[in-house]
Amino acid sequence: MEVAFYGGSFNPPHVAHVLAVSYVLSTGGFARVLVVPVPAHALDKQLVPFEDRLRMCELALGWLPGVEVSPIEQSLPLPSRTLNTLKALKAQHPDWSLRLVIGADVLLETQKWHAFEQVAELAPPLVLGRVGVVHPAAPPPILPDVSSTRVRELLARRKTDSGVLSELERLVPRPVLEYVERHELYTLADGPR
């Protein structure tokens, strides 16, 4: 069975994540897209709690047919390593043929990954082009230039700058925005993210 593996911080999930998963489902011939949020960032970036990001992924992506949001990394040793997760998935599902879904921006950071060459052997990358990212191995852009960093900046200012709400509504799925508000995530008091 062909399965696309889409891991990340999803801090928070945004419309480019939804578009990436929709594109992969539409064009990749996959039986399933496995969305896997990390419990802790391998490079020690601050994240909102795992349970919140897992739930936001379910709200943003779980409604799509063929998508499974998986908490598998919560049961694996820290720090989160894609290689360890892929090995665990292969052990649990030897019949799966995995592909790693990444945005073209990841091509600029593969040297920061733990054993990226081994990751690529276990799950050959399916690279999605992103507006504004230039790399020789990047395909033409299909994903907009939307980042979780930008979304977090806007969310931190939402209480003091009413003008950011319309931009947030274009960048973040409505159920995720509602969840963020209900749980008071990404406020200025949270500090830098």
What pLDDT does 35 receive? 98
Domain ranges of the chain: 2-144
Is the pLDDT at 192 greater than 70, yes or no?
A: no
**CATH superfamily membership of 2-144:** HUPs (3.40.50.620)
Is the pLDDT at 190 greater than 80, yes or no?
A: no
45 contacts: CB under 8 Å, gap ≥ 6: 9, 11, 193
Torsion of CA 85, 4, 69, 153, to 10 degrees: 90
What pLDDT does 129 receive? 94
Report the run of H or E that residue 20 belongs to, with start and end: helix 15-27
Question: What is the Cα Rg of the chain in Å?
Answer: 16
CA distances (Å), 71 to each of 85, 108, 110, in order?
Answer: 11, 27, 24
Mean pLDDT of 89-96: 96
What pLDDT does 193 receive? 39
| 113: confidence class by pLDDT, cuts 50, 70, 90 | confident
Asked if 2 and 31 count as a contact pair (C-beta separation under 8 A), the reply is yes
Is the pLDDT at 128 greater than 60, yes or no?
A: yes
What pLDDT does 189 receive? 54
Is the pLDDT at 172 greater than 50, yes or no?
A: yes
Q: Please, what is the angle between helix 164-171 and helix 174-182, to 10°?
A: 120
Mean pLDDT of 54-67: 97
Mean pLDDT of 128-155: 92
Sheet holding 97-103, edge to edge: 67-69, 32-37, 2-8, 97-103, 125-130, 141-143
Mean pLDDT (the chain) is: 91
Mean pLDDT of 66-83: 92
| Alpha-carbon 192 to chain mean position | 19
What pLDDT does 191 receive? 46
Asked if 15 and 172 count as a contact pair (C-beta separation under 8 A), the reply is yes
* pLDDT tens track for 22-44: 999 999 899 999 999 999 877 67
> Which two three-digit tokens encode residue 56?
């936001």
Q: What CA–CA distance (Å, rounded) separates 95 from 2?
A: 9
* pLDDT tens track for 7-20: 999 999 999 999 99
